[in-house]
Structure 1
Amino acid sequence: MAAPASKTIGDLNGTWVMNKNLSDNTEPGLALQGIGYLTRKAIGFATVTLAVKQYRGPPLPPSTGGECVRIDIEQTATGGIKGTTENRCADGEQRSHSDWLFGTVDSHSHFVAAGDDLRKAVSGHGVDDAGADYLAANWLADEAEKTGPDGAAHLVSVAHNQKDGWIAVQVWGFQNIGGERRYARSIVLKKGDKKVEMRLVYDYVS
């Protein structure tokens, strides 16, 4: 279902299910990231659910300072696919994380305003002009969406797998899709001269 007005980039708390009909095919992106054929196919058939907890709390290591906005996500899937955990601290500091699917990844996340600020935030990181245009396009950016720190409307996440040589740049926010306001992630994946652009769209469950 569409996202209720109470769900914004400042409050993603709840359960979200990826809408496979509205989302792009994930297989090309997973292939670029080195995920095997059988696992890609299983993920393609699975129902993927995100349980999101967003709050202010102590930062993840290696930081030892004050609070940051934490976004903890437990991702589960049907069909015998193992779940993964995404724990983010949206302070822009790089941290390492390992899981069974993507291996060891260095990543950082931060909130960003809409418009030119968003395009500037995603430029670089191996993203060309066309990729930056893709990541910055189609977002809702009215005052009701500016609920993040300092009026931010989006979260930008950059992940780099040094061993396998890929980088993923994501923008999270809300878009009008099929006449309904929905939570979405636009993603550009790069590995060498190969690039995949895709959008994932989520239904709000509870």
Structure 2
Amino acid sequence: MAAPANKTIADLNGKWMLNKTLSTDTDKALALQGIGFFIRKSIGLATIYVDINQYDGPPTPPNTSTENVVHIDSLQSASKLTSTQENRCVDGESRPHGDWLFGNCKAFSKLVTEEDVKTWVVEKHGAFMGEGWLTGPEEATGPNGALHLYNSVENVDPKGGWTAAQIWGFQTIDGERRYVRHVVVEKGGQVETIKMVYDFIP
């Protein structure tokens, strides 16, 4: 179903399901990230859920601040595949992350404004990252008017070498407001983009 009006970048709590009809295919991007054929096909056939727990709390190392920051903990599950857990401390600090699917990475996340997306995000990752977003005041519910989450990942495995960037936000798709992620994966001059559209599961 469409995202409820109270779901914004300030409150993504709940269960979401990837709508594969509205999303673009992930196969080429996953291949660029070194994911094998059989796992890619399993992902392509699976129903994918994301359970999100968003809250304010003390930052994790290396941030030594005593001020609370936004945390977004996500459990992604797919039928017949092992789940992956991503705990994002949304403060712009780079931290290590590793799982069975994407290997060893370093990543950071931060909340960004419409102006950030239109300027440095698009300049760094291409026009795709700035396309289609809802940008009204009802969406700008994050600190300092933020309405997107920006996430950057760099794989550090010897045979990895890929990077990925994401923008999260909301768009109107087929007349309904939806939670959406735009993803750009890059490796060795090759670029793949993904649009991931989610249904809210009440």
What's the TM-score bracket when you normalise by the shorter of the two chains?
A: over 0.9
1:186 corresponds, among 176, 179, 182, to 182
Report percent identity of matched pairs: 48
Instruction: Kindly report structure 1 stretches of 4+ aligned residues shifted beyond 4 Å.
Output: none
**Mind listing any 5+ residue stretches in structure 2 that lack a counterpart?**
none
- Residue 151 of structure 1, CA deviation: 1.0
Hey, what's the Cα distance between the residues in 2 that align with 1:69 and 1:95? 15
Amino acid in structure 1 at the alignment position of 2:136: D
Which position in structure 2 is the counterpart of 1:70? Answer: 71
**8 Å CA contact 2:62, 2:93 repeated in 1:** no
**8 Å CA contact 2:122, 2:129 repeated in 1:** no
Q: Secondary structure at the match of 1:76?
A: strand
Hey, what's the Cα distance between the residues in 2 that align with 1:28 and 1:20? 15
Hey, what's the Cα distance between the residues in 2 that align with 1:72 and 1:192? 31
Deviations for 1:174-199, whole angstroms, at most 9, x for unmatched residues? 00111100000001110011100110
**8 Å CA contact 1:122, 1:169 repeated in 2:** no
Hey, what's the Cα distance between the residues in 2 that align with 1:165 and 1:119? 27
Deviations for 1:5-47, whole angstroms, at most 9, x for unmatched residues? 0000000000000001011101111000000000000000001
Q: Secondary structure at the match of 1:41?
A: helix
Mapped pair 1:201 → 2:193: no
State the aligned residue count.
199
**Mind listing any 5+ residue stretches in structure 1 that lack a counterpart?**
none
Which position in structure 1 is the counterpart of 2:142? Answer: 148
- Residue 124 of structure 1, CA deviation: 6.1
Which position in structure 2 is the counterpart of 1:161? Answer: 155
Which position in structure 2 is the counterpart of 1:83? Answer: 83
Amino acid in structure 2 at the alignment position of 1:182: R
User: C-alpha root-mean-square deviation of aligned residues, in Å?
Assistant: 1.1
Hey, what's the Cα distance between the residues in 1 that align with 2:48 and 2:62? 30
Mapped pair 1:118 → 2:117: yes
Mapped pair 1:105 → 2:105: yes
TM-score, normalized by length of structure 1?
A: 0.93
TM-score, normalized by length of structure 2?
A: 0.95
- Residue 117 of structure 1, CA deviation: 1.9
Hey, what's the Cα distance between the residues in 2 that align with 1:152 and 1:14? 20
Mapped pair 1:39 → 2:39: yes
Which position in structure 2 is the counterpart of 1:4? Answer: 4
Amino acid in structure 2 at the alignment position of 1:205: I
1:92 and 1:121, CA in 2 relative to 1: closer, same or farther beyond 3 A? Answer: farther
Hey, what's the Cα distance between the residues in 1 that align with 2:60 and 2:40? 30
